[in-house]
Amino acid sequence: MNKLVGIIGMGLKRVTDGLNSMINCFACDTKEKKEVKCNVKSYTEKKGTPDKTIIFAKNILDEFRKDVGRYAAETGGMLASTEDCNLIDMCYFDVHSRNTPGTFYYDVESMSEVFREWKSKGYVTNGIYHSHPIGCIRPSYHDISTALLHLRFFDLDYFYLPIFQSERKGFYTMYFYVVRQHNNCLVVNLDYVLKADEIGYVYAHFAAWQQAYPINQLDAYRDSIDRQEKKQKANKVRIRTEADSVIDIDFEDAAAVKEEKEKCTMETTYRAAAERASTERASAAVDPYFSKVKSLYPENVLDKVIICVGTGGARSALENFARSGIRNYILIDADAVSESNIATQGVFISEIGKKKVHVIRDRIMDINPSAKVICVDRFLDDNMTDGEFKGYMDIFPNKKPTDYLILGCTDNFEAQKRSSILALKYGTPYLAAMMYKQGAAAEIIFVYPSVTESCPRCLLGSRFEKYENGFENDVDSSACTIFATERMNALKGYIALMLLMYHEAPGNIFNDMLDYVKDRNFVQIRLNPDLRNTLGIDIFDRVFAGAERYMYMDETIWIPQKPDHPSNGYETCKLCGGTGYLEQLRMKWPDTRYVNMTEPLENVKAEEDSDSDNSVRD
């Protein structure tokens, strides 16, 4: 197995080759299977009342005060039972783990050593505990898939997966999840919620929660990631050319690889030294430019990647991201600057005829010389495979899904739809912005898997229906003032920072902003005071009824949203199935070019990495 990057910044992210190492180390021991069954009540009986069948020894709860109760999110360790599997009376806090605000990588050697010691004493290793950022109380899809691996390795019919919310003072709230296999599904059940305060320990009221995950889909998810990693590491040699573009060469072409390596041997040494020196000089030169905002943006946020699909109307937003110090960009657009863009997109006459991606790249580099901009002179259409799109993402190594932000900034509906589904497939935050006819209003939608509940189709269901029935949009940016575009881009930038900095910048205004609007991820701006008569939109009149004396135009409303599901009064969403937990959609579709929205989601086969074309073209 391979090292896996965690998803969505709130799951149990770990080094799965570490798990494989454990499996290899103790393979001989697993031949003697010890039957351990967990005597718990049926998950069907849960109605939100604590099931105390499985308990912790008090000394273990006290130990949690010393570790996960005092540290920031994404710390944890391993659990075991000495005699009774319903009594958890052993724990090990992994002090050697590598942690970020959104990832937890346990230390393979230390965890293996503890496992070996426990096994020699007859203890049963039966759980992993870890903390999540505040507000993230559910196990991620990656958590569940990893629990399945542990369940199989330890030869159990259950696995404990407690999630902690730490108050950093020795206080915590523990959400105790139990993972069990039931027929062909892995069932995850919240058994109870336990709070540790200054007085002691108390079971808290909670909403009953249970989720079933098809095992074949979990296996496909894990296998797809493993194969992708293996393919990149074992089958490809990535070479940087003179033009600073990236190409992949198959190992099968041994002669070409050897020739290329020999040609680059001496050049690489000197080039690497020159690049280091250049980077150091650029960094030193750049620092003064961003000194006034240096305290606002953490380094890990500045190193995230913005993927912009359609770059015309988003020009000023991209420039201002660069002014914020954000360094990494992937620009996808085959369009060129035209005369008509002068009035609406902030371009210049001298740029007419040039590719928009190249024009914006030059502008970004003029603002921030340390930026890395990948120009993709192509449209996001059926000619671009999922593998190619992922290949562009992989140019920036060692990134987790929440290190990317996909912007759907094109007026082409199909491209916008595709970009939103790609974001769901790869588990990245997503933001799309649209200007209404004549700049009368604007709308922005945003999605953050495992935080927001409504997918893009839930948010824009009527629009999806129209296009699926053959509608063709004839609205362009004509008669739309540049001020309307800039107004939309300003709010777009604010929301983008909210997504990029979510639980990544403690003490910053943007750190937990998403928590307040996660169920209001459809935003409208009124720029024409008479939307009722011009576009038939009366929601602003209804929202501000009685306050007309203080309102006229340029108001923003954040409209509450729920997933399209019968329980919420809507037909089931044809894209997400009304799941309310978008993390389940990771790697759901083998090919997002051909998503059949008439097929029930549960019948869709998960990603099997069938796309062999993973080359990167610039």
pLDDT tens, residue by residue, 74-98: 889 999 999 988 999 999 998 877 7
Interval 173-232: pLDDT, tens? 999 999 998 888 999 999 999 999 888 999 988 888 898 999 988 888 888 777 766 665
Which of the 8 DSSP states describes residue 425? H
* pLDDT value of position 7: 26
* pLDDT value of position 297: 87
Largest CA distance in the chain: 79
Q: Between 255 and 469, name the one with better pLDDT.
A: 469
Angstrom distance (rounded) from CA 415 to CA 407? 11
C-beta pairs of 510-518 under 8 Å, 24+ apart in sequence: 512/134, 512/135, 514/448, 514/451, 515/134, 515/135, 515/451, 517/558, 518/448, 518/451, 518/452, 518/453
Burial string for 429-447 (b: 16+ CB within 10 Å, else e) reads bbbbbbbbbbbbbbbbbbb
> For 16-231, which CATH class?
alpha beta
Q: Give percent of the chain above pLDDT 70.
A: 77
* pLDDT value of position 221: 81
Averaged pLDDT for residues 16-34: 42
* pLDDT value of position 134: 79
Angstrom distance (rounded) from CA 307 to CA 312? 14
pLDDT category, 28, cuts 50, 70, 90?
very low
* pLDDT value of position 373: 93
Averaged pLDDT for residues 357-369: 90
Which of 112-121, 372-381, 603-612 shows the lowest per-residue confidence on average (mean pLDDT)?
603-612
**pLDDT of 611 strictly over 50:** no
Q: 295-603, superfamily in CATH?
A: NAD(P)-binding Rossmann-like Domain (3.40.50.720)
**pLDDT of 260 strictly over 80:** no
- What is the token pair recorded at 221? 């998810």
Q: Between 244 and 111, name the one with better pLDDT.
A: 111
**pLDDT of 617 strictly over 50:** no
DSSP strand pairing (87-88 vs 55-56) = parallel
pLDDT category, 612, cuts 50, 70, 90?
very low
Averaged pLDDT for residues 24-45: 41
Q: Give percent of the chain above pLDDT 90.
A: 45
158's CB contacts (< 8 A; 6+ apart) are 37, 38, 40, 85, 126, 151, 178, 179, 180
**pLDDT of 15 strictly over 50:** no
* pLDDT value of position 233: 57
Is it true that 16-231 and 295-603 share their CATH fold?
no
Interval 403-422: pLDDT, tens? 999 999 988 889 999 999 99
Which of 222-236, 486-500, 575-589 shows the lowest per-residue confidence on average (mean pLDDT)?
222-236
- Decide: 143 and 7 in contact? Cβ < 8 Å: no
Give all strands of the β-sheet with 555-559 in edge-to-edge order.
372-376, 328-332, 305-309, 404-408, 430-435, 441-447, 522-526, 555-559
Burial string for 74-109 (b: 16+ CB within 10 Å, else e) reads bbbbbbbbeeebeebbbbbbbeebebbbbbbbbbbe
Interval 291-344: pLDDT, tens? 778 788 888 899 999 999 998 888 899 999 999 999 999 999 999 998 888 887
Identify the bridge partners of residue 202 per DSSP, sorted by sequence position: 195
* Domains of the chain by residue range: 16-231, 235-285, 295-603
pLDDT category, 563, cuts 50, 70, 90?
very high
pLDDT category, 512, cuts 50, 70, 90?
very high
Q: What's the chain's average pLDDT?
A: 80
Interval 267-287: pLDDT, tens? 444 445 444 444 544 454 556
* pLDDT value of position 543: 94
Angstrom distance (rounded) from CA 160 to CA 45? 18
* pLDDT value of position 51: 78
